[in-house]
Amino acid sequence: VVAPQNSCDHDDYPIEDYPRFMLWATGSSHKFLYHHKSRGQFHANLVSGPVKEFDHSKLDKFKLEMPNVDVVTGEGGTDPTNPYICGIFDLGKLVPHDYDV
């Protein structure tokens, strides 16, 4: 497929050097509703190509467990006094100094 980087068509996005989601479909029509299970999306950079994945397999691992907190919900699945259970943690204090956070 050959396409200009910027078609100036208000329905098209210019092709730029950053990744974006794109739709795909197979079938005999250009209507995405028609394709049922033969459609989807993918994420790609059409200028630079795929980003090289960083190999994390050789890095040291650090296990961090959240505190054991009872999450109690009220009638209808909500708690009017605290609808969210949150925790704020300073990873700089929790993680040993030789780890990048």
pLDDT reported for residue 101: 60
The 10s digit of each residue's pLDDT in 14-60 is 889 988 888 888 877 676 566 667 788 999 998 998 888 888 888 87
- Distance CA(74)–CA(82), nearest Å, equals 10
Instruction: Note the pTM of the prediction, 2 decimals.
Output: 0.41
pLDDT reported for residue 56: 83
Other C-beta atoms closer than 10 Å to the C-beta of 95 total: 14
Which of left, alpha, beta for 48 (phi over 0: left; psi -120 to 50: alpha)?
alpha
What element of type H or E holds 93? helix 91-94
Residue 6 has pLDDT above 70, yes or no: yes
pLDDT reported for residue 87: 67
| Bigger pLDDT: 45 vs 71 | 45
pLDDT reported for residue 17: 92
pLDDT reported for residue 79: 66
Mean pLDDT in residue range 58-82: 70
Q: Report which residue type is found at 32.
A: F
